[in-house]
């Protein structure tokens, strides 16, 4: 193993903050670069909340890490002074002042290096600009003890606020004479406080990475094949033991590579980052005991060089064996994409997506063996090799990473229609509903193949498991996952089929028909509409339920309409669901009605979907919005560009009433009066930092100095309040300086608390739209052509489709 002396090192510290009583507040990380000459703070990131801290800097590490400034210059000398420009154009002047003895909870440290930095001229371009600038500008003192690290911090901010931190405990396993020792495993815990915090915070810092980047990372070793094996024991179901043999491509010159050769390419390995934006260590959080060995069984060092990225400095072109464990504890936390797309362990089965399980390199020839007890099923979307139950062929690393695996005593069956195969894997009490689910999926496949005029031939995996705390579904590669409450029985089909129908529809729209860039309004919205009308056509949901669902969607769409366009909203489809899913499906409904009107009901949205499947689903070409505009315009023989400009890429309100009139359906909207914003009432006027509820019948106050934790807000000025909108209504005419009376339930007693409303009296509270009401009803006096359009949409009088069920 060659050991070159690399002077530049990248160091990552993770941090987590909690209250003294142990309530989690936030987590983050900061990165440093160490050379022979400097130790520089290069970046930081945090996630979480400050637990009532209204300042934007709710972690201690903010006060330590100013991007692109030097914490130290080497060699260290008293009196040394340096000036720089940091992030937000802040001007810094640092000076090493001398040595002082410091007494903190962790002990007394003589000869601490006193480090002073003056920050001026910060020009923050972000939210809370004024406060951020005030906190950033000021004078910061740091005291470092040799071999220990940061012992104390005092930051005198330009607005008079002071932040103070002291070292509580530290662990430096390997002795080190640096003023800030940065070996992996070093841990410090600090107690810190400023006037923004109701309670002191405890923050722990830990060095998690310290590596130098090799020079030849750009040209990694190429691989010819990867052979994976997963082993899970019945009595240790939360541990997946993974082994992988990676075989490199031999040198193209056909020469045997000399072990002395110094330009040997490193083996680069990684795990997916999918859905782990807020985790500094990604899926490697659950990884243990990663090792690499050569063909003689000798260990080869594995270096972590980034978030879920590793380098193995191999010395020849012989196969390398990786071994590691994955702890399947992912269901202990919330995931941005929902619980249905992260590993979980149920009583009878284990669900795991490939991205949480596999460390991969760039390789096309992949096989997987799964070693589980004989009475377990192994359900995957992959083709089996031979007739072996547990041996699979995988196309490439994406096919491996973006597939789901279900292992256990769940039940497994194939649903087939028109050549499309969907392998059903049902766990828990859903197993009892296998016949019903198989029948439903088959009829959905049949209906969709009618709408799209064909069926994709890939095999898909469909996983459904019961979950009483979460309901949702997702698609990844050739796999679909659904978690839901309740049962999958025939007598409550209307409650579970829509979610299943939506996900199955993605086999066509989303998987076969795919976009270039970002067109989630089509891929999610049109999927939602097609699956809903299919459920009506199959008699699974009634016409009345369909109308109620439209009302709900239009209301949700209207609550966000105007803020950003339906198309733009797709940049963050989960937090803009009202525009992407609800708005997108209303665009589909509008187009269905408009096409039918322009063609005397001879053409419909089905013709658009058929053409999309022909042009993009069958060819693999990717569509853009212009393709949709072109096809709709062709089918309806009318220019639809203005429609898309207004309602899809623009923010104009979709006039749904005009379109539904063509089908004899009345759409009425009632906008409630504008009311003050809830945020302004709570945070500014009432000084309530956290209000829980309204679930459980109360609104509980937390982390607000003027109140007691668990004060239950039940009335304002003698009027009961139950929901957030009740507070907004009560605050309709409030002005800062007014006196109001809150009724609180405090330790079982009703307490009346007079409050003087805070805020600037010269400013009136910001108003936000009031509640919106939408009523959609079928006219009793509709014309024959209106009735024809309506029954065409919902497929009434089409017995061939109803018969299937």
Q: Site residues (CB under 5 A) for Zn ion?
A: 524
Identity of the residue, 344 or 520, whose beta carbon is nearer to Zn ion in the bound complex:
520
- Pairing mode of beta strands 767-768, 675-676: antiparallel
Report d(CA 126, CA 622) in Å as an integer: 36
Q: Give the 3-state DSSP-derived string for 492-539, with helices as H, strands as E and coil as C.
A: HHHHHHHHHHHHHHCCCECCCEEECCCCHHHHHHHHHHHHHHHHHHCC
Token pair listed for 711: 């004060």
Identity of the residue, 16 or 420, whose beta carbon is nearer to Zn ion in the bound complex:
420
Query: Minimum Å distance from CB 401 to Zn ion?
Result: 20
The CA–CA distances, whole Å, from 138 to 100, 120, 158, 648 equal 22, 7, 5, 48
Which residue's CB comes closest to Zn ion? 524
Query: Minimum Å distance from CB 342 to Zn ion?
Result: 17
Identity of the residue, 524 or 592, whose beta carbon is nearer to Zn ion in the bound complex:
524
Identity of the residue, 506 or 728, whose beta carbon is nearer to Zn ion in the bound complex:
506
Report d(CA 135, CA 158) in Å as an integer: 6
Report d(CA 558, CA 561) in Å as an integer: 5
- The DSSP string of 303-317 is EEEETTEEEE--SSS
- Pairing mode of beta strands 459-466, 420-426: parallel
Q: Please name the residue ranges forming H helices in 335-480.
A: 397-401, 434-452
How many CB atoms are closer than 10 A to CB 219? 10
Query: Minimum Å distance from CB 279 to Zn ion?
Result: 24
Strand residues in 105-200 grouped as ranges (E): 107-120, 138-145, 149-157, 162-171, 187-193
Identity of the residue, 203 or 524, whose beta carbon is nearer to Zn ion in the bound complex:
524
Query: Minimum Å distance from CB 298 to Zn ion?
Result: 48
Query: Minimum Å distance from CB 565 to Zn ion?
Result: 19
Token pair listed for 375: 């009475």
- The DSSP string of 691-729 is EE-SGGG-EEEES-TTS-TTEEEEEETTEE--SHHHHHH
Token pair listed for 503: 């996900």
Query: Minimum Å distance from CB 532 to Zn ion?
Result: 12
Identity of the residue, 504 or 631, whose beta carbon is nearer to Zn ion in the bound complex:
504
- Number of H-type helices and E-type strands within the chain: 19, 44
Is residue 542 classed as helix, strand or coil in its secondary structure?
Answer: coil
Q: Which residue in 582, 594, 584 sits closest to 663, CA to CA?
A: 594
Identity of the residue, 307 or 573, whose beta carbon is nearer to Zn ion in the bound complex:
573
The CA–CA distances, whole Å, from 76 to 95, 175, 434, 654 equal 11, 19, 71, 66
Token pair listed for 532: 């809903």
Please name the helix (run of DSSP H) or strand (run of DSSP E) that holds residue 411, with its range, or none: strand 411-417
The CA–CA distances, whole Å, from 252 to 216, 248, 255, 287 equal 18, 11, 8, 35
The CA–CA distances, whole Å, from 636 to 147, 656, 662, 788 equal 76, 18, 15, 17
Token pair listed for 517: 């860039």
Query: Minimum Å distance from CB 520 to Zn ion?
Result: 9
Identity of the residue, 524 or 606, whose beta carbon is nearer to Zn ion in the bound complex:
524
Identity of the residue, 340 or 524, whose beta carbon is nearer to Zn ion in the bound complex:
524
Query: Minimum Å distance from CB 511 to Zn ion?
Result: 11
Query: Minimum Å distance from CB 500 to Zn ion?
Result: 12
Q: What is the DSSP letter of 198?
A: S
Query: Minimum Å distance from CB 528 to Zn ion?
Result: 7
Identity of the residue, 10 or 514, whose beta carbon is nearer to Zn ion in the bound complex:
514
Query: Minimum Å distance from CB 381 to Zn ion?
Result: 18
Identity of the residue, 313 or 549, whose beta carbon is nearer to Zn ion in the bound complex:
549
Q: Which residue in 226, 474, 438 sits closest to 351, CA to CA?
A: 474
Report d(CA 454, CA 368) in Å as an integer: 32
Token pair listed for 126: 């972000």
Paired with 776 in beta bridges are 667
**Helices 584-598, 543-560: inter-axial angle, 10-degree rounding:** 120
The CA–CA distances, whole Å, from 381 to 151, 392, 403, 748 equal 55, 9, 7, 56
Query: Minimum Å distance from CB 561 to Zn ion?
Result: 21
> Hey, CA dihedral for 687, 692, 697, 698, is it positive or negative?
negative
Query: Minimum Å distance from CB 502 to Zn ion?
Result: 6
Identity of the residue, 268 or 612, whose beta carbon is nearer to Zn ion in the bound complex:
612
Identity of the residue, 408 or 498, whose beta carbon is nearer to Zn ion in the bound complex:
498
Q: What is the DSSP letter of 762?
A: T
Report d(CA 77, CA 96) in Å as an integer: 7
Identity of the residue, 226 or 482, whose beta carbon is nearer to Zn ion in the bound complex:
482
Identity of the residue, 317 or 524, whose beta carbon is nearer to Zn ion in the bound complex:
524
The CA–CA distances, whole Å, from 409 to 26, 289, 414, 756 equal 38, 28, 16, 62
Query: Minimum Å distance from CB 622 to Zn ion?
Result: 18
Identity of the residue, 53 or 340, whose beta carbon is nearer to Zn ion in the bound complex:
340
Identity of the residue, 505 or 648, whose beta carbon is nearer to Zn ion in the bound complex:
505
The CA–CA distances, whole Å, from 18 to 55, 192, 768 equal 16, 11, 34
Query: Minimum Å distance from CB 292 to Zn ion?
Result: 39
State the residue for tokens 């400097």: 38
Identity of the residue, 524 or 607, whose beta carbon is nearer to Zn ion in the bound complex:
524
Paired with 351 in beta bridges are 344, 406
Query: Minimum Å distance from CB 43 to Zn ion?
Result: 34
Query: Minimum Å distance from CB 524 to Zn ion?
Result: 5
């Amino acid at each position: 193993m060659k050991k070159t002396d690399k002077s530049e090192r990248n160091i990552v510290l993770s941090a987590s903050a909690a209250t003294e009583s142990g309530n989690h507040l936030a987590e983050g990380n900061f990165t440093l670069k160490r050379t022979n000459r400097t130790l520089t703070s290069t970046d930081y990131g945090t996630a979480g909340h400050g637990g009532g801290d209204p300042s934007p800097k709710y972690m201690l590490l903010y006060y330590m890490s100013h991007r692109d400034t030097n914490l130290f210059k080497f060699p260290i000398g008293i009196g040394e002074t340096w000036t720089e420009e940091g992030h937000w154009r802040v001007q810094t002047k640092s000076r090493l002042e001398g040595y002082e003895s410091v007494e903190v909870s962790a002990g007394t440290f003589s000869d601490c290096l006193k480090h002073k930095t003056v920050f001026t001229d910060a020009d923050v371009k972000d939210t809370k600009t004024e406060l951020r600038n005030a906190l950033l500008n000021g004078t910061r003192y740091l005291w470092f003890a040799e071999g220990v690290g940061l012992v104390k911090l005092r930051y005198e901010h330009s607005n008079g606020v002071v932040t103070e931190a002291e070292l509580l405990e530290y662990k430096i396993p390997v002795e080190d004479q640096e003023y800030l020792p940065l070996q992996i495993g070093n841990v410090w815990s600090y107690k810190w406080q400023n006037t923004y915090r109701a309670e002191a915070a405890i923050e722990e810092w830990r060095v998690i990475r310290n590596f130098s980047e090799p020079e030849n990372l750009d040209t990694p070793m190429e691989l010819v094949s990867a052979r994976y094996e997963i082993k899970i024991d019945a009595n240790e179901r939360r541990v997946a033991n993974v082994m992988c043999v990676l075989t490199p491509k031999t040198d193209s010159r056909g020469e045997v590579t000399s072990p002395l050769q110094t330009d040997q390419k490193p083996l680069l390995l990684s795990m997916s980052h999918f859905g782990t934006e807020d985790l500094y260590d990604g899926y490697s959080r659950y990884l243990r005991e990663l090792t690499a060995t050569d063909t003689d069984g000798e260990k080869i060092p594995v270096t972590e060089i980034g978030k879920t990225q590793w380098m193995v400095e191999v010395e020849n072109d012989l196969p390398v064996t990786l071994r590691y464990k994955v702890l399947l504890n992912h269901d202990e936390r919330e995931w941005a994409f929902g619980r249905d797309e992260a590993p979980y362990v149920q009583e009878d089965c284990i669900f795991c997506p490939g991205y949480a399980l596999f460390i991969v390199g760039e390789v096309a020839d992949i096989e997987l063996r799964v070693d589980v007890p004989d009475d377990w099923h192994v359900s995957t979307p992959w083709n089996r090799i031979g007739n072996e139950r547990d041996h699979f062929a995988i196309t490439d690393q994406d096919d491996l990473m973006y597939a789901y695996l279900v292992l256990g005593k769940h039940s497994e069956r194939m649903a087939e229609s028109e050549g499309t195969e969907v392998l059903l894997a049902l766990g828990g009490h859903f197993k009892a509903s296998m016949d019903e689910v198989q029948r439903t999926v088959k009829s959905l496949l049949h209906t969709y193949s009618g709408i799209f005029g064909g069926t994709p031939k890939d095999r898909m995996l469909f996983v459904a498991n019961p979950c009483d705390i979460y309901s949702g579904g997702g698609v990844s590669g050739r796999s679909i996952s659904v978690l839901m409450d309740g049962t999958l029985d025939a007598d409550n089909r209307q409650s579970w089929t829509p979610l299943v129908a939506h996900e199955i529809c993605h086999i066509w729209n989303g998987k076969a028909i795919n976009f270039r860039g970002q067109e989630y309004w089509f891929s999610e919205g049109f999927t939602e509409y097609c699956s809903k009308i299919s459920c009506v056509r199959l008699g699974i949901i009634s016409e009345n339920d369909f109308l109620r669902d439209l009302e709900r969607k239009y209301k949700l769409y209207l609550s966000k309409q105007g803020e950003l366009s339906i198309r733009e909203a797709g940049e963050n489809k989960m937090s803009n669901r009202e525009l992407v899913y609800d708005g997108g499906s209303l665009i589909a409904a509008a187009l269905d009605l408009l096409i039918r009107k322009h063609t005397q009901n001879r053409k419909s949205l089905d013709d658009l979907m058929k053409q999309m499947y022909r042009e993009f689903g069958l060819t693999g070409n990717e569509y853009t919005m212009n393709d949709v505009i072109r096809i709709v315009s062709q089918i309806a023989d009318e220019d639809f560009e203005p429609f898309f400009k207004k309602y899809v890429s623009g923010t104009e309100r979709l006039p749904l009433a005009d379109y539904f009139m063509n089908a004899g359906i009345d759409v009425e909207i009632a906008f409630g009066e504008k009311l003050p914003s809830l945020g302004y009432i709570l945070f500014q006027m009432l000084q309530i930092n956290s209000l829980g509820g309204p679930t459980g019948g109360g609104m509980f106050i937390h982390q607000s100095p003027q109140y007691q934790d668990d004060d239950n807000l039940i009335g304002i000025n003698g009027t009961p309040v139950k929901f957030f909108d009740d507070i907004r209504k009560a605050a309709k005419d409030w002005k800062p300086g007014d006196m109001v009376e809150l009724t609180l339930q405090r330790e079982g007693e009703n307490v009346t608390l007079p409050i003087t409303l805070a805020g600037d009296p010269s400013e009136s509270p910001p108003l936000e739209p009031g509640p919106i009401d939408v009523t959609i009803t079928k006219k009793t006096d509709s014309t024959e052509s209106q009735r024809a359009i309506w029954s065409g949409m919902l497929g009434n009088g089409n017995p061939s489709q109803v018969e299937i069920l």
